[in-house]
Amino acid sequence: MSDIDSYQLSNNVYVTPTPAGAYFCVSGEADLPSRKILHTLLKKPATLPLNIDELLSLAGLTNESDLLGLLYRMQTLGWIQGVDFQETAPEGELENVLPELLGALSDSGKVLLADEQGFYLSSQGFPHETAEELSALSADIFSIYDRHQGLLKNNLSLETSAWAVVDASGNGQIGFWPLWIGGHRFVLIIKGVPLLNQSALMRLVWVLSIRYGE
């Protein structure tokens, strides 16, 4: 997409967030140019051609060299990539789309998506009663986080807001990952080893951004 000397854009490619880029996009609320680009890309029904003028607008920048430097940094961090073909977002009702995407995000196949009120939108692998209780637990956890984020983010410089239940060796048994989308906070709850570096995560964020993004 670019090289370190001239930051030249490649021709005839489409720009798309990677799973890491999608996660960065929704893992915080800070208003950053990189996050603006990712947010906008993830609200489109299909990937966009790599176009300098449109990307300037998306990032809220006016200087082309600043944009090219930003794109280079985002590519180096593994947040975006250029592909030769146009991709389209998953189509259909959320209740039909979410289960398959969620199931790919854990080695146990047990994953659910809850809203900030403590209700689950979709669950894969958990019994209904367990899914309800985990969703309520996630709301309690992030109520605590909201009250103490000054300590966690400022005093301790912890950049992540995810929580986990760990065993005696410190290995996570079940994790809670907040996803901020369009003024809403969802929580991804995963039992077992999380498999977040999967296209399913990017597509999950994509469909949620189209549905709930401002």
Instruction: Please count the CA atoms within 13 angstroms of the CA of 190 that sit on its side-chain side.
Output: 22
Q: What is the predicted pLDDT for the residue at 160?
A: 83
pLDDT at 2 over 50: no
pLDDT tens profile 4-63: 445 566 667 899 999 999 999 999 887 888 998 999 999 999 998 887 887 887 777 788
Q: Which residues contact 3 (CB under 8 A, 6 or more apart)?
A: none
In percent, the amount of the chain with pLDDT more than 70 equals 95
Q: What is the predicted pLDDT for the residue at 74?
A: 94
Tokens representing 65 are 């060299």
What global pTM score does this model have? Answer: 0.90
Note whether 98 and 70 are same-domain residues. no
Q: What is the predicted pLDDT for the residue at 54?
A: 79
Once rounded to an integer, what is the mean pLDDT over residues 117-124?
95
CATH of the domain at 139: 3.30.450.30
Of residues 192 and 158, which shows the higher confidence score?
192
Does residue 115 lie within any of the structural domains? Answer: yes
Q: What is the predicted pLDDT for the residue at 29?
A: 82
Q: What is the predicted pLDDT for the residue at 150?
A: 85
In percent, the amount of the chain with pLDDT more than 90 equals 63
Does residue 145 lie within any of the structural domains? Answer: yes
pLDDT at 141 over 70: yes
Once rounded to an integer, what is the mean pLDDT over residues 179-202?
95
pLDDT at 135 over 60: yes
Q: What does residue 190 show for φ and ψ, rounded to 5 degrees?
A: -130, 125
Mean pLDDT (the chain, rounded): 90
* Range list of H helices, the chain: 19-26, 33-41, 52-59, 64-76, 94-103, 128-149, 199-212
Please state the domain count of the chain: 2
Residue whose token pair is 């005093």: 155
Note whether 102 and 121 are same-domain residues. yes
Note whether 179 and 103 are same-domain residues. yes
Range of the domain at 47: 14-83
Does residue 67 lie within any of the structural domains? Answer: yes
Give the residue from 26, 60, 83 where a domain finishes: 83
Give the residue from 27, 48, 83 where a domain finishes: 83
Does residue 70 lie within any of the structural domains? Answer: yes
Note whether 77 and 102 are same-domain residues. no
